Amino acid sequence: MDPPWMVEIEPGLFLGNMRSSWDLPAIQANNIKAIVSLLHMSAAQWARVWFRGLVTRENHIMIRCVDTLTQDLLQYMGHICDFIDGRLLSTESSQPLEQRPEGPAGDPVTGKSQGSVLIHCEMGISRSATVLIAYLMRKHRTTLQETLELVKQKRKVKPNPNFMDQLKIWGQLEYKIWDDTRKRIPKLLYQEYLDKRAETLKSLGKTGDEPWEDVILSGR
């Protein structure tokens, strides 16, 4: 297993591997106060991890996902971006003031950062890089290629082709993939992706929504 590592992509926002999410010295040194985990394991595996004193349960998102050519990460991108914005508490939020997450008093969250956010998967190459790129695209309103090159200046990343297609859709839909406020009706481009995905799953003999038995891509 690779040693723990995390790299600051921009102030307060770190990309890392799985072991970095358990590395107490690195978490302390980088003032990590929130974590986004993208792994195929259950969130219950973090319940007894000793860094809970530094990163509380409400500041940890666990997205159960796999690095395959059928995994849908688009469905989570908006929620994760909102989570990161709220934890960074940045005045440079990717959302207009009236759309930012609400604080305890019901007012939009503003002010200086109270800590850093770590986004990680197993290797820090595909799943976590995809989510990081999605966040930066929305925050800075930059293209996929511009954002990918920016991240590559800090760390070697390579989202798989499926995730690259999703990031293209994310940008084309201007970071809003749903046609309704209840998030049940996908916009046309997202629906077309879901239809294509369903055909691929069917061809693989899959009947469920998530391809847990699918072959996990190596090196991610």
Q: How far apart are CA 182 and CA 164, in angstroms?
A: 26
Q: Is residue 192 part of a domain?
A: yes
For the chain, how big is the Rg over CA atoms in Å?
17
Q: What confidence tier does 210 reach under pLDDT thresholds 50, 70, 90?
A: low
Q: What is the mean pLDDT of the chain?
A: 85
Q: Please tell me which residue, 213 or 146, carries the higher pLDDT value.
A: 146
Q: Do the domain assignments include residue 209?
A: no
DSSP state of 50: G
User: Which of 23-32, 55-64, 99-108, 128-137 has the least mean pLDDT?
Assistant: 99-108
Question: Residue 218 and residue 74: Cα distance in Å, rounded?
Answer: 21
The percent of residues above 90 in pLDDT, for the chain, comes to 68
Task: Spot the catalytic one: 13, 15, 66, 121.
Answer: 121
What is the DSSP pairing of strand 60-64 with strand 32-39? parallel
What is the residue type of 69?
L
Instruction: Report angle CA 6, 12, 17 to the nearest 5 degrees.
Output: 20
Bigger pLDDT: 105 or 6?
6
Q: Are 142 and 37 in contact (CB under 8 A)?
A: no
pLDDT of the residue at 106: 37
Q: Is residue 21 domain-resident?
A: yes
- What pairing do the DSSP bridges indicate for beta strands 13-16 and 6-10? antiparallel
pLDDT band of residue 61 (cuts 50, 70, 90) is very high
In a domain, 214, yes or no: no
Q: How many structural domains compose the chain?
A: 1
220 domain residue, yes or no? no
Can you state the angle between helices 144-152 and 127-140, rounded to 10 degrees? 120
Q: Kindly report the CATH number assigned to the domain that includes residue 109.
A: 3.90.190.10
Claim: this prediction has a pTM higher than 0.95: no
Q: Could you list the residue range(s) of the whole structural domain that residue 38 is in? A: 6-203
Whether residue 127 is contained in a domain is answered as yes
Comparison of pLDDT for 210 and 170, the residue scoring more: 170
Residue 212 lies in a domain: no
User: Do the domain assignments include residue 18?
Assistant: yes
Q: Is 121 in the active site?
A: yes
C-alpha 113/C-alpha 58 separation (Å) is: 17
